[in-house]
Amino acid sequence: MSLDTIKASPGFEKYLPQEYYDLLKDSQFVSPKKVSEMGSFKELIEEHPMCAGCAMTLFIRTMIVALPRPEHTIFVGTAGCGRLVLSQAAIPFVYGNYGDTNAVASGLKRGLGIRFQDTPKDVIVAAGDGGLADIGFSMVMHSWFRKEKFTTVMLDNEVYGNTGGQESGMTQKGMVLKMAPHGKKFEKMDMMGLAKTAGVAYIARVAPTNPNRVAATIQKAVLIAREIGPTYVQAYTSCNIEYAIPTPKVMDDAREVEKARYQFSEYFSDEAKEYWDKLEAEKRQLKGGAATASSAVPEAE
């Protein structure tokens, strides 16, 4: 979990593939990147086995670009589509058993805090609605009640997409699926409401329709989790296979769902809001100082 882990051992440089050198030359490991630059630099995740047009893949790519310090970040995931992408990123990934991701993340965050007291290490759980709202519900809730300082990102495709189309607690009521032929009988779980009840410091719901908003949301969640407490991001990442969404229509579906029932929303606890306002003020002060310094430098003739 540092840039030392990607340095080539002396004498082996010439045997490494070009893709490796691209990481050292033009990636987030070298300098921060903007969402608007995606596709023009070496991303920390490129090849993956996801379905064509998968909204989850786009969200994960954007999430990784948004990481404040990717070289000091570790992902925790479990069975599901998301781990097919995350496990192939140039970022450490821990594969937890189905349901225990937040327990694993709790131990990791505590251990890293003891081992690296002077360097923030960001732990992020990224798993599906089945792994977090259903099978992992107990571990998720207790990590929130204990105020564990890491981020939980739900990749909410509203179905068990990786195992054939079973309904999950996050499936919309009435939805007919291959393994729910009579339609779901109860309402979608209010995980955001539960997060607020559990005292989560920052909570957000977002769709992949606005990549800059996705990036800003992830950054808030990660930075607030470092200092204040647990944060939760619920992201709509449709399963175009189980819901029969044509590949060219995936983003159209995301826009429609966002407009109808998945509007962007965020919640700060009082402590989290105070901390975030402080970070924003410091950022503005730095920008102002840089602008003042640059204006004092005479322009080249």
How confident is the model over 149-206, as pLDDT tens digits? 999 999 999 999 888 889 999 999 999 999 999 999 999 999 999 999 999 999 999 9
Helix, strand, coil shares of the chain as percentages rounded to 5?
A: 45, 15, 40
How far is residue 249 from each of residues 36, 56, 211, measured CA to CA in Å? Answer: 22, 14, 17
Q: What is the CATH number of the domain that holds 212?
A: 3.40.50.970
210-222 per-position pLDDT tens digit? 999 999 999 999 9
Give domain status of residue 301, yes or no.
no
Question: What are the tokens at 139?
Answer: 């571990």
Domain count, the chain: 1
- Alpha-carbon distance of 273 to 278, in angstroms, equals 8
Is residue 73 helix, strand or coil?
strand
Strand arrangement, sheet containing 265-268? 93-95, 73-77, 122-128, 151-156, 231-236, 202-206, 265-268
CB count in 10 Å sphere of residue 4: 7
Give domain status of residue 24, yes or no.
no
Give domain status of residue 195, yes or no.
yes
Give domain status of residue 41, yes or no.
no
Residue 2 has pLDDT above 80, yes or no: no
Predicted local distance difference test score (pLDDT) of residue 55: 94
Q: What is the largest CA-CA distance in the chain?
A: 75
Residue 299 has pLDDT above 60, yes or no: no
Give domain status of residue 66, yes or no.
yes
Taking residues 41-52, what's their average pLDDT? 88
Q: How confident is the model at residue 8 (pLDDT cuts 50, 70, 90)?
A: confident
Give domain status of residue 4, yes or no.
no
Q: How confident is the model at residue 295 (pLDDT cuts 50, 70, 90)?
A: very low
Higher-confidence residue of 130 and 12: namely: 130
Q: How confident is the model at residue 7 (pLDDT cuts 50, 70, 90)?
A: confident
Give domain status of residue 15, yes or no.
no
Average pLDDT of the chain to the nearest whole number: 92
Predicted local distance difference test score (pLDDT) of residue 289: 72
Amino acid at 75: F
Q: Measuring CA to CA, which residue among 71, 56, 63 is closest to residue 218?
A: 63
Give domain status of residue 211, yes or no.
yes
Structural domain range at position 157 = 46-292
Percent of the chain with pLDDT over 90: 76
